[in-house]
Chains A and B, each alone.
Chain A
Amino acid sequence: MRYGHKYVFLLPGLLVLIAILIFPVIFTVRLSLSGWNSYNPGLDFVGIKNYVRLFTSDPRFWEAFSRLAFFSLTTVFLQYILGFGLALLVWRDVLFKRFFRVLFLIPMMTTPVIMTVIWKTVFHESLGPVNDFLSMFGLTPLWLSDPMLSKVTVIIVEVWQWTPFMFLLLLAGLLSLPKEAFLAASIDGAGPLRKFIYVTFPLMAPISIGAIIIRLIEASKIMDTIYVLTSGGPGTSTETTSFYIFIKGLREFQMGYSAAMSFTYLIVMILSLTVIVNILIRVFIGRND
């Protein structure tokens, strides 16, 4: 009796998901084995030609992966630190904390496609406010047109947009922490820093890991920000894998090849995430046993 219930809970969601996904997934696999492009639509069969091409004659794909790793890891790391910090700041003992909590959520609620255009105007080298302010000090950094600096700009925009994600999750986590552990620590005479390291942080481990993983997945798909700000430029300095897949797929219409790239991307991501989860578990939980 008890065991029958578990299926009733799980299966509606799982089956609905599988039902909607099954055709697209199979189609995409089949697509990756075809040479579908703008002048040759249709599922002809070319075997693993796309994959061969991907692994042997497309260094640009793998270069894009290194940039992807750079962007994802940097932005998620920053978002975690900042998000946690902000959550701690407005958790308790602050004036107007409820107002700030709402305020800090807002950037996440903007539509990336639209908000990034606003950012483009903010960082516009001759007509935007940032350089207007900096020109008082004689500086006009090339936010969007310098290979190094454009990466920084992308990171700034991403951090602005998605730190609230971490912030919200971690705040919710903090708010649902059991008070007993803190009482015990206070009785033991622990100060705020010790309380954090030995009580708060370990208790927040599961949520932290979950949040980081989701953000890593989302951050890796970064598209709108790059598309609007730099189109992957200057040159290829801000081109990530997902952007490259987009170009090949929807601009050049090499759908078959794009599907092969997407699958490879999926596999690489799954492998990487598995490794990362293990690392995170050791960092967050292993140490505090």
Chain B
Amino acid sequence: MKRITVAVTSMLVGVTAAGIAAGDKWSDQFPHIKNTGDIAGECSYESMSQKDYSGQTLTINTHAVPVMGEPTALHAEQFSALTGAEVNVIHTPAGDLYSKAMIPFQAGQAPYDIVFGFSNFIRDWMAYLEPVPEYYVNMRQMQDVTKSHIDVASWDGTMMQFPIDGDRHYLKYRKDVIDNPELQAKYLAETGNELRVPQTWKEYAEIAAYFNGWDWDGDGELEYGSAEVMKKDDLMYAAFFSRSVAYAKNPATPGGFFFDLDTMTPLINSPGFVEALTDWVEAVNYVPPGGINFSLGDEINSFGGGQALFSFSWDDAFVAAMEDGSAIKNKVGVAPLPGADRVWNRETGAWDETYNQAPYIVWGWAAAVAKKSKNHELAFDYLCFFSNDANHQADIAIGRFGVNPFKKSDFVPDIYIERQGWDQQIAEEYTETLMDMEEKSTNRVFPLRVPGVFEFTSAVATGTSKALAGQLSPQEALDEVAAEWEAIIERVGVDNVREAYAVGVALEDNLR
């Protein structure tokens, strides 16, 4: 007995020592993972070094540098060094990722083995993709991914996209204002209301309007209320949906958020959405000059540069604010999206006067392997390597990479405190808020992922931007959008859209 114990113990020690030694060996050669060393797994540096893909070539179409582009290229370089494969990476601006992948696909070709895109491409490009093999789905590394992100990467139970990033919309605010006792007192005295993290969009508007157009942080420049994505481009409709979910996603009326699943009538012009658009039109009054033409980049510049009190779309603005060298590092906070004091009930045709909040599991970066690629194994190994524990932990600590948390083990405050110099309180607020959104909420809205999705979103972008520009009233604008949606449904085929939409609704209604 004793001899066995000794043997086992020494084996364990040996393995651990070998493990630690291996970790050191890899982090010496690849400084990117120096904080954690190599972490064991089927796709770790160690495992990949055992593979030999020399003579084979992998072609990847990814986003521009640095967001997603730099990590893709970096991991490509590492992968190449470990396995001998030749990896070619091409960088494409965000708005063109779709066409750059779809044109060859539709012409029957697959010049890229791996394509990067947004996760809401899934229904459109699914037919050209190779599903993720069971082998990868069952890895511990994959099991660590949060449920929401597994859902986002899958279609009706099959994982079509490889999870490499997580995205969500959440509220970001300037802590040095909201938590500032002087300003709190001033706000209370002048408005009779408490200065706090806004719980509803109306409160958001009030606070933003109050803090609009004067220098409240003493840096000699004027500041404004809110930086939002309002430019009529490929992303602004997501900002609109974030504002809408609280008013329109009623847990009491399952069966569809964008459409009524049974009749496939668009719900986009229902009072919930109209109220949200009305709020948005009012927001034009508390955005910086030119705010109505802000693209995501402008929003990041504005909030990250300290110009705005609030922002609420993707992680990037928060990450930019928290970078070393940012003037507002550790002065920003995180909270769930504001809710609403009433939510529209489409069955009763009236408002339910209760507080409602719903996270919008917005789409984010996704990567997938082309079905016609001749290098499936190589491609999946690359993606697995990309998101292996060591790489992922290192990636999320580098703001400009655009890789945001999506694994359960990501939501640990220490990562941010130690490696990125975040204040403890902020790191905890961040991880808690995000984790709650991912794992705990049952009243969620999933991105629209039906065939021809961009026709629908383009209609929303056009309509809402007309309202923002004052060309139409919110109701008129959304009526126009609803009419366009009906035309699109007719062209695409009601059953096609319903079948696809049902997949998303099942997730929202927690039926799966």
With a cutoff of 8 Å between Cβ atoms, the chain A residues found around residue B472 in the complex are 235
Inter-chain contact B307/A126, CB cutoff 8 Å: yes
Interface residue A110 (Cβ < 8 Å from any Cβ of B): no
Inter-chain contact A233/B231, CB cutoff 8 Å: yes
* Chain A, 222-263, CB within 8 A of any chain B CB: 230-237, 247, 250-254
* Chain B, 450-466, CB within 8 A of any chain A CB: 451-452, 454-455, 458, 462, 465-466
* Chain B, 268-313, CB within 8 A of any chain A CB: 288-293, 298, 301-302, 307
Inter-chain contact A251/B458, CB cutoff 8 Å: yes
Chain A's closest residue to B287 (CB) is: A145
Inter-chain contact A145/B292, CB cutoff 8 Å: yes
With contacts A234-B293, A235-B466, A237-B469 taken as known, whether A37 is within 8 angstroms of B232 at the C-beta atoms is no
With a cutoff of 8 Å between Cβ atoms, the chain A residues found around residue B291 in the complex are 145
With contacts A39-B492, A124-B290 taken as known, whether A236 is within 8 angstroms of B466 at the C-beta atoms is yes
With contacts A231-B231, A231-B232, A253-B99 taken as known, whether A126 is within 8 angstroms of B290 at the C-beta atoms is yes
Contact with B along A85-113 (1 / 0, CB 8 A): 00000000000000000000000000000
Inter-chain contact A233/B124, CB cutoff 8 Å: no
Count of chain A residues near B, Cβ 8 A: 35
Interface residue A73 (Cβ < 8 Å from any Cβ of B): no
Question: Nearest chain A CB to B486's CB is how many angstroms away?
Answer: 12
Which residue in B289, B301, B452 is a CB contact (below 8 Å) of A38? B452
Inter-chain contact A126/B491, CB cutoff 8 Å: no
Inter-chain contact A252/B452, CB cutoff 8 Å: yes
CA distance A39 to B307 in the complex (A): 42
Interface residue B86 (Cβ < 8 Å from any Cβ of A): no
With contacts A147-B469, A232-B232, A236-B471 taken as known, whether A38 is within 8 angstroms of B290 at the C-beta atoms is no
Contact with B along A126-154 (1 / 0, CB 8 A): 11000100000000101111010010000
Chain A's closest residue to B472 (CB) is: A235
Interface residue A41 (Cβ < 8 Å from any Cβ of B): yes
With contacts A57-B487, A237-B469 taken as known, whether A252 is within 8 angstroms of B458 at the C-beta atoms is yes
With a cutoff of 8 Å between Cβ atoms, the chain A residues found around residue B14 in the complex are none
Inter-chain contact B290/A39, CB cutoff 8 Å: no
Which residue in B452, B458, B468, B487 is a CB contact (below 8 Å) of A234? B468
Inter-chain contact A39/B451, CB cutoff 8 Å: yes
With a cutoff of 8 Å between Cβ atoms, the chain A residues found around residue B292 in the complex are 142, 145, 233-234
With a cutoff of 8 Å between Cβ atoms, the chain A residues found around residue B124 in the complex are 38-39, 253
Inter-chain contact A254/B289, CB cutoff 8 Å: no
Inter-chain contact A235/B293, CB cutoff 8 Å: no
With contacts A251-B95, A253-B99, A253-B454 taken as known, whether A234 is within 8 angstroms of B232 at the C-beta atoms is yes
With a cutoff of 8 Å between Cβ atoms, the chain B residues found around residue A41 in the complex are 106
Chain A's closest residue to B497 (CB) is: A39
Interface residue B233 (Cβ < 8 Å from any Cβ of A): yes
Interface residue B194 (Cβ < 8 Å from any Cβ of A): no
Inter-chain contact B102/A253, CB cutoff 8 Å: yes
Which residue in A37, A144, A237, A250 is a CB contact (below 8 Å) of B452? A37
Q: Which residues of B contact A (CB under 8 A)?
A: 95-96, 98-99, 102, 106, 123-124, 231-234, 288-293, 298, 301-302, 307, 451-452, 454-455, 458, 462, 465-466, 468-472, 487, 491-492, 496
